[in-house]
Structure 1
């Protein structure tokens, strides 16, 4: 199943067999499938994961220069691709690191202190931006090449130390001074007794301020009051270590830079990189996926004419469980805006997108409008069915009406990459993703031991948010 071949210089991929025949194959144009973007849609248990594996394996097996990144929020696909390079949080061999300093300022401000771009009139927001810019400009000598400091802004992906930012805020909030006038309260007149240790989140210490009119005086620099405790809470939360302590990508002093990260994801001998996000806290899943997508897109955009990437070596980005972070909810603005950009402009720079979802009616309309090919498995919801109907010719309503009654592994394919919309069967793959149903009857027929020690491990995992 899923052989790829060239006929008259038109590359095609076998998508399955006709449901009415055991031998009649159905092919799609792989160029249009990838660069015009595609989607695999189906209700839970309809065979989406198996279909995804079939398509990706066909590409990987027959194209030596193919490149795929699979964003896997639930960690299901590593078992189906034993030869893939899997990046996972806290993994011993390939830990997933996404340096926090890859975020632009809007993302960083939202993540660290909950601030939004609409806060740009607040003095603390503007001071925070200036502080970030200052620390980034100090680190212009980098492993991937020196950067002109005049071109560095708060949005530039330049390493800096978040603990140092917190320490600076805490310093100004708690310092005491020889002078009572705010304009005269500078570092050279501060009554500091201990510098503290920003790496270990130990604040600086100062002589206590007096209650009267005598020195030392309390700091009047309270602009960071709303931000300092929020940053400290983030830094102390071990769930965010993959962002704040990204191993050899931590800061400008460590041994690796962004070119190493790109090589790991899209430049290694492994044609498929699986980014296992199962250990990412849900509240930062939006920013994490947005950050991954934007970074990869930027690499393709700025490297579009390089011989080893961009238009000379296209890339497919696949997004599993897309409805959870690419939906119409404005709270998912970061991942959605990044993926929408790929759907709108990615083709020109060699970036194609595949989304996998069980609720297509919840996905951003901007994304849906630019999907060139739909692989629709069983869909029972009328709103989800209408998404497929809107992409098919009017004279094919009879085919689309079959969506609620399709068997597991059957699909209807419509769109630019297939000349005749077809109903197909997808071969069952082995090894499989870990998304298959549990063996309910077999499990319920067994008698399980009752023990007071049960669930201790489960509760610990819940508390630590780690597998």
Structure 2
């Protein structure tokens, strides 16, 4: 089916066309010239009328012209060149010949394009529901992914579909679940392994604890006192003689005893004050009986760290601790030349609320380790997925390392600019489509797919929490319940022989 004809000057990357019927943005088209069959995507459409131009200011004149000049309407569009269908989608070396017909791409061609080695089925084409959209699992796991959308656009459903598809390959997935959406989820392809947000201090190093207590790098005397107490506290835990699960409290008590013996050394008191300030924040973080979080990760399961009941400071510590230890463990395996162990240690980390854990304009330990995993993780089998409804507040450095993106509806211009600056493959024309996407529709691009794609994401077939609350129905039911109870009470009174 012919949808247009190329006009004007063409280039190796795009062509302009005129059509006598309205195609759809996001539709794939083909152009045949110079012995090539070139695939393209319609990225821009304009409908106009030369007679009804913006220079006419007379309303009655416009009214008359519009009655007689409807047939003068034209449709002009722009096609982005994606590659030669017969040459592995390599970009052609010669531009399209003006006058070339533009045809809708056959479904058979598109189905072949979306055939990949390890398919992850996200959904189907927005404009051709009979064509499934499969992306390749390996580039997602090794080159990272960002899932970005405004609130209510279908972000959580997309994450759930992705998790379920990855579970079909027995991939160990680790979700930093900020709102408890996934702890009770049910995935058709695997179980959920809920991990408590607790750290056994014996798995934390001195510098992690020192940072919690806010002992600066130049506080050498304070650091010496704290190190001595830290070592003693760790020994007490190992020997099973610790009197509390609060690791900071143990250190505090040791320093308090030292203070008495050394005549209230000011530096010791200063350290105690810093510990005292930190204890309110981190009192519920430690558990001397907890295992190593990394050893509790299970293959073929969605490992969910439930962070819904902890504050941001504790979440920051947990994220940085887990990512740091995971990277170190994988580096040790790589250093020892144990490729099988390195692959066994592979994990795909999904970070919900990435704008909290990796803020754009504020430093945090979790942000630094997210950046490290984003830059180095692919060499050590560690994948990363950043999920956010506020892209503009996600760290630009980390976001720019996401070589794959699933972008649902985004309306705010600042969000759009931030995402575009982090993705070299996101054109302005595609950015312009983001506000018009319906719920569950997304632009998919990156190394996981051979071509940029407009996708209708599948509806997740399992069960999860996190949907919007039906507040109106709740209060309607509550009033109905109150009225029923009142009628029952009146009936009970009448049955007892009393009268109003």
TM-score for the superposition, normalised by structure 1: 0.69
Pairing 1:311–2:311 present = no
Pairing 1:244–2:342 present = no
Select the residue among 348, 355, 360 that pairs with 1:328: 360
> 1:145-160 counterparts in 2 under 5 A?
none
Select the residue among 173, 179, 192 that pairs with 2:259: 173
Question: CA 1:6–1:376 in 2, change beyond 3 Å: closer, same or farther?
Answer: closer
1:409 is displaced (CA, Å) by 0.5
Q: Which residue of 1 aligns with 2:307?
A: 277
Q: What secondary structure is seen at the aligned counterpart in 1 of 2:283?
A: helix
Select the residue among 328, 342, 367 that pairs with 1:298: 328
Q: Which residue of 2 aligns with 1:374?
A: 405
Residues 154 and 440, structure 2, Cα contact 8 Å, conserved in 1? yes
Please tell me whether Structure 1 or Structure 2 has the larger radius of gyration of its CA atoms: 2
Render the CA deviation track for 1:182-224: whole Å, top value 9, x for unaligned.
xxx6xxxxxxxxxxxxxxxxxxxxxxxxxxxxxxxxx153321
Q: What secondary structure is seen at the aligned counterpart in 2 of 1:402?
A: helix
Question: CA 1:7–1:328 in 2, change beyond 3 Å: closer, same or farther?
Answer: closer
Pairing 1:128–2:214 present = no
Residues 87 and 96, structure 1, Cα contact 8 Å, conserved in 2? no
| Partner Cα distance (1:447, 1:135) in 2 | 53
Pairing 1:363–2:400 present = no
| Partner Cα distance (1:269, 1:349) in 2 | 17
1:100 is displaced (CA, Å) by 3.3
1:430 is displaced (CA, Å) by 3.5
| Partner Cα distance (2:264, 2:347) in 1 | 53
Question: CA 1:364–1:101 in 2, change beyond 3 Å: closer, same or farther?
Answer: farther
Question: CA 1:52–1:27 in 2, change beyond 3 Å: closer, same or farther?
Answer: same
Residues 116 and 134, structure 2, Cα contact 8 Å, conserved in 1? no
Pairing 1:73–2:174 present = no
Select the residue among 392, 402, 422 that pairs with 2:433: 402
| Partner Cα distance (1:141, 1:239) in 2 | 23
Question: CA 1:79–1:165 in 2, change beyond 3 Å: closer, same or farther?
Answer: closer
Pairing 1:56–2:56 present = no
- Structure 2, unpaired ranges of 5+: 1-111, 483-500
Question: CA 1:417–1:430 in 2, change beyond 3 Å: closer, same or farther?
Answer: closer
Q: Which residue of 1 aligns with 2:272?
A: 228
| Partner Cα distance (1:299, 1:393) in 2 | 33
Select the residue among 145, 150, 153 that pairs with 1:43: 150
Q: Which residue of 1 aligns with 2:99?
A: none
Question: CA 1:162–1:58 in 2, change beyond 3 Å: closer, same or farther?
Answer: same
1:310 is displaced (CA, Å) by 1.9
| Partner Cα distance (2:414, 2:466) in 1 | 24
Aligned alpha-carbon RMSD (Å): 3.2
